[in-house]
Amino acid sequence: MNFELSPEVTAMCAAVTGFAQRDLGGPETFEPIDFRRRWELAGKQGILGATVPARYGGSGLDAVAAVALMAALGSGCPDTGFAFSAAAHLFACLMPIAEFGTEEQRAHWLPRLSSGELVAAHAITEAEAGSDIFNMSMRAVRQDDHYVLNGTKVFTTNAPVADVFLVQAVTSPGSGFFGVTAFLVEAATPGLRVGPPYQKIGLRGSPTAEVHFADCRVPVDGVLGGEGAGASVFTGSMKWERTCLFGIYLGAMRRVLDSTLAYAGERVQFGSPIGEFQAVSHRLVDMLARLESAELLLHKAAAELSHGGNCEVSAGLAKIAVSEAAVQIGLDAIQLRGALGVTAGDAETLLRDALPARIFSGTNEIQKNNVARALGLGRKRPR
């Protein structure tokens, strides 16, 4: 496999890392004014529309280049939550519009979403419909030239700052895959209300909240991909998100591994740097092996996506490998720092930010189910 990047993409990645180190620092919390400031800067840098076609204001990167760009962002940005918000905006919202939207929808939304003028959020998860996504209770009923939406979405990334929501609702109960429809809903639409931001263990710089819909009227031209195409829209968004978003964690792991190597060379105990102790050096080698293995799997999935292949197996395996590696590398980095590891710093931050990665975009257990089914091992559901 050849994952060599073009000189242009290599230069772009170097620029993004430098930009993130310089302009995307700050407290690991969500503050609306500062979030918008950094968001506009990220848009000007080309991050928010990286994979959007150039004619709609993006850079038109393929998935391999996008993974490299996200890794550059994760390496330079100490606030992984902010980087996560940017990636969720791009892969879970803009790419579905680019792939399923009408020409009018693409022209209306994509340039402003790519530039950083606007923020998007994908509202799909419900209290009783997480992994069991077709158990959604939210309904959309056609009334003349509008749909009326009623229900509540939870754990919606970017909800507190979103200007537009990509919303999934049931339009034909009992129809399974073809009973769900996707809608583009402006945040100012009457009947749409966003709850307060959650307090989370990790990804604190990414604002997340519930979104409530009460007789929220959406014009017919707000349907994305046609009635009944919501599941296809969701599958398309996850194809991008499960592959490219996790590049952020490659960069974050690399950053923490580098700082841990530096610490092991500087910290002296019993007259020697601790990196000379076999127990320490072996743990560092294990950290590198996990990172390199996860990186190869993610690039393989990205290469398949770039070439139009069915990357369900490779993306699922990569998602599992990257998220589990990030958790373990966070634990190892804390352990090697001793008492210093449990104080505020990049090691404990990586661990907290990595824990949600085993859950979002489909839990790791669901990924194993998907891979098993692709291998012909899944349990057949009764008709």
Q: Let me know: does 303 contact 64? Beta carbons within 8 Å.
A: yes
DSSP states of 240-275: HIIIIITHHHHHHHHHHHHHHHHHHHH-EETTEEGG
Instruction: State how far the alpha carbon of 200 is from the alpha carbons of 197, 204, 206, 328, 348, in Å.
Output: 9, 6, 9, 20, 14
DSSP states of 144-199: TTEEEEEEEEEEEETGGG-SEEEEEEESSTT-GGGGEEEEEEETTSTTEEE-PPPP
Active site residue 241: yes
Of 63, 1, 102, nearest to 308 (Cα)?
Answer: 63
Instruction: State how far the alpha carbon of 317 is from the alpha carbons of 64, 120, 296, 299, 304, in Å.
Output: 16, 28, 11, 11, 13
Orientation angle between helical segments 7-23 and 32-44, nearest 10 degrees? 160
Determine which one of 126, 241, 304, 348 is catalytic: 241
Place of tokens 């939210």: 138
Active-site residues, by number, are 241
